[in-house]
Amino acid sequence: MRRLDDRLEQSRIAPPGPPPRRRYRKLLSFSILSITLVSVMPLILVTWIKHREYEKALNAEQIRPIARLTANAKLSLESFLSERLSALSLVVQEKTIEELRDPGNLKHVLRSLKRAFGGFTDLGLINGNGLQVSYAGPYNLQGKSYKEQDWCHEVAMRGVYVSDVFMGYRKFPHFVIAIRHDYGDDSSYLLRATIESEAINKMMLRWMPLPASDAFLITHKKVLQTPSRHHGDIFSKVNVPAMPYSNDAEIIETTDERGDPLIVGYAYVSRSPFIAVLLHHPGTMHASWLPLRRNLVIILLISTVLIIAVVVTGSAYMVRRVREADTRRTAVLHKVEYTNRMAVIGRLAAGVAHEINNPLAIISEKAGLLSDLFRLSDTMPSKEKILKIADAISKSVERCSAITHRLLGFAKHMDVRRDQVNLSLLIEEVLGFLDKEAHYRGLHVALHLADDIPFLESDRGQLQQLFLNIINNAFAAVDEGGEITIDGKMVGDNQVEVSIADNGIGIPEENLQQIFEPFFTTKDGSGTGLGLSITYGIVEKLGGKISVTSKVNKGTCFRVTLPITRE
C-alpha cells in the first residue's frame, strides 16, 4: 500500500502554466486601441469643433466690417451725388432761364457751387436741341452741340443723369451730372455740370480698412473709375466675380488668382453707373489666429500623449492582473480536475480491490501448495509441478501489476499531448474499470463503433477521463438491469461522433441548460457537480462539441463530436 501511495505521489506534476502570451498580447493591443480611440476621439472632435467655430467667428468678424464699410461707402457716394444733383435742381428752380442764359450769372452760380460743395469744374446750359447756349468754366465750349450723344438723350428722357468717369476734351478724369427742367412755355433745358473724379477718389481711400485691403469704384463692365491699390489705375479692367444687382451691400467669399481666400464687398450706387467695391484678404487677420491654432494643436498633442501613456500603463497592468488571475484559475481548475479524478478512482476502488483479491488468493493458494509439497514429502517434487505452480504465481502477479498500472495511469496528472488513439480500444479500456460494477448490478453495456473510424490525433488521458465521466453518469442514472449503449460513427471527413445513451431516470427539461455548470448536480447528496463541468471543458480543450438530450423516466443521450486531426 505504501508503494502505491508513493507512485501516486510521484505521478503528480506541476499545474499547467498560464495561457499563451499571444492571447494576452491581442488583449493588450485591443485594450490600448479601443480605450485610446474612446479617449482621444472626443478630444480631437472637440478641438476640431473649437477650431471650426473660431474660424467661423473670425470670418464673421471680418465679413461684418467689410459689409458695414461697403454700405457706408455706398451711402457716402449716394449722398455726394444727391447733394450735387439737388444743388443743380435748386439752381434751375431759383433762376429764370434768362438768368441762366447769361454767362455772367452762370459763372456766379458756378463759384457759389464750388464754395458750397467743391469738386465742380464747369457748368453749362443746353437747350432742347442739344446746343449748349451758356457755359461757365475754363474751356471754350459755348455753342457746342451734344445732340448726338447718348447722355443727352438719356437725361432728356429720365430727367437725371450721372455719367461714368471719362477723359473727354479736358484730358483729365471727370464725370458729368445733369438734370432736366421744364418751363411753362413747353420748353426744356438741361443743366450740365462736370465733377472732378479726384473727389470720389479721396472718398474711396477713406474706406480701405487695412493696408492689404482695396476699395474702388467700377462700372457694370468692371472698368475702374477710381485708382486701385492692387488692380491698377482708372480705366483698367479688373477681374472680380460676378456681382448680381442688389439694393443693399453684399458680400462674396471667393479666391484670388493665387488661390488665396478673398472677401469681396460690393454695393450698387443708386442713380449712377458706379459699383462700390471693397476687397479684403482674410490672411491679414488670420495672423492673430495662428498662435491660438498652434496652442490648440500643442494641447491636443500633449493630451494625446498623456492619454496614451496612461492607457498603455493601465492596460498593461490590467492585462497582467488578468493573466495572473487566469494562471490561478487554471491551477485551481487543474486541481479540481485532479480531485474529480480521485473521486472517480475512489468509486472504482471497490472493484479494483476485488480484482486484485482474486489473483492474490491464487498466489496464496499456490504458495501454500508449494510449501506443503516440500514439507510433507521427503523427496523432491517433480519439476513440472513446481514450474506450473510458479507460472500461476507469475501470471497472478502480472494481473495485479496490470490492474495497479491502469489505476495509476488514470490517477496521475498528465500534460496535454497528442497521441494516435484507437478510440475503440480506449473506450473498452474505460469500460474495464466498470466491468465489476456492471456485473454486480446486471447492467447491459453495448459498444458499437463503426469500422471506418481512424485513429484520433488527441490526448489519451483527457479522452479517458471524458468518457469515464459520461459513462459513470450513465451507470448512476440506471437501475439494476439497465441498458447503456455506446455508438460511434464518422461525421464528415474529419469528425467522429460518439453517443452514450441510457434508459435511466432522465433529466428534467428545466435542468438541461445547467448540467454543464460547475457545482450543479441532480444527485441528492452524492455528487460534487464537477464531473460534467470538467467534461465540457475537456471537450472544448480537445476541439470538439458536446450536447445532451433527455426525457424524464426514458433516458439520456450524450453526444460528443471530436476532430480526427487537431489544428
Percent of the chain residues topping a pLDDT of 90 = 25
The answer to whether residue 284 scores a pLDDT higher than 60 is no
- The answer to whether the CB of 237 falls within 8 A of the CB of 223 is yes
Tens digits of residue pLDDT in 377-389: 666 666 676 776 6
Least Cα distance to 32 among 313, 322, 301 occurs for 313
d(C-alpha 446, C-alpha 324), whole Å: 46
Least Cα distance to 343 among 205, 468, 496 occurs for 468
Residue with cell 457706408: 72
d(C-alpha 160, C-alpha 155), whole Å: 5
The answer to whether residue 67 scores a pLDDT higher than 60 is yes
Tens digits of residue pLDDT in 407-464: 555 555 445 567 788 988 889 888 877 877 888 888 999 999 988 889 988 888 788 8
d(C-alpha 466, C-alpha 427), whole Å: 10
Query: What is the number of other CB atoms lying within 10 angstroms of the CB of residue 495?
Result: 15
- The answer to whether the CB of 446 falls within 8 A of the CB of 483 is yes
Which range (10-24, 136-150, 428-442) has the least confidence? 10-24
Which domains, ranges and CATH numbers included, belong to the chain? 21-287 (3.30.450.20), 414-567 (3.30.565.10)
Per-residue pLDDT averaged across 11-26, rounded? Answer: 60
405: DSSP letter: H
| One-character DSSP codes across 527-541 | --S-HHHHHHHHHHH
3-state helix, strand, coil in the chain (%, to 5): 50, 20, 30
Which grid cell sits at 21?
A: 502570451
Backbone dihedral angles phi then psi of residue 323, each to the nearest 5 degrees: -65, -40
Tens digits of residue pLDDT in 181-214: 887 667 889 999 999 888 888 888 887 766 668 8
- The answer to whether the CB of 347 falls within 8 A of the CB of 411 is no
Residue of higher predicted confidence among 250 and 521: 250
Task: Give me the pLDDT at residue 25, please.
Answer: 86
Per-residue pLDDT averaged across 142-158, rounded? Answer: 86
The answer to whether residue 16 scores a pLDDT higher than 70 is no
Which grid cell sits at 335?
A: 486541481
Least Cα distance to 308 among 41, 23, 12, 5 occurs for 41
Tens digits of residue pLDDT in 493-513: 889 999 999 998 888 888 777
Residue of higher predicted confidence among 483 and 288: 483
Q: What is the mean pLDDT of the chain?
A: 81
The answer to whether residue 402 scores a pLDDT higher than 70 is no
Residue of higher predicted confidence among 517 and 78: 78
Which range (22-31, 217-226, 396-405, 537-546) has the least confidence? 396-405
Task: Give me the pLDDT at residue 7, please.
Answer: 39
Which grid cell sits at 417?
A: 499531448
**Where are the strands (E) in 145-249, listed by range?**
160-162, 174-182, 188-196, 214-218
| pLDDT confidence tier of residue 273, bands split at 50, 70 and 90 | very high
Helix (H) or strand (E) holding 563: strand 555-563
Helix (H) or strand (E) holding 472: helix 460-477
Residue of higher predicted confidence among 220 and 336: 220
Task: Give me the pLDDT at residue 515, please.
Answer: 77
Percent of the chain residues topping a pLDDT of 70 = 78
Backbone dihedral angles phi then psi of residue 444, each to the nearest 5 degrees: -105, 115
| pLDDT confidence tier of residue 26, bands split at 50, 70 and 90 | confident
The answer to whether residue 121 scores a pLDDT higher than 80 is yes
Question: Cα angle vertex 231, ends 225, 232, to 5°?
Answer: 70
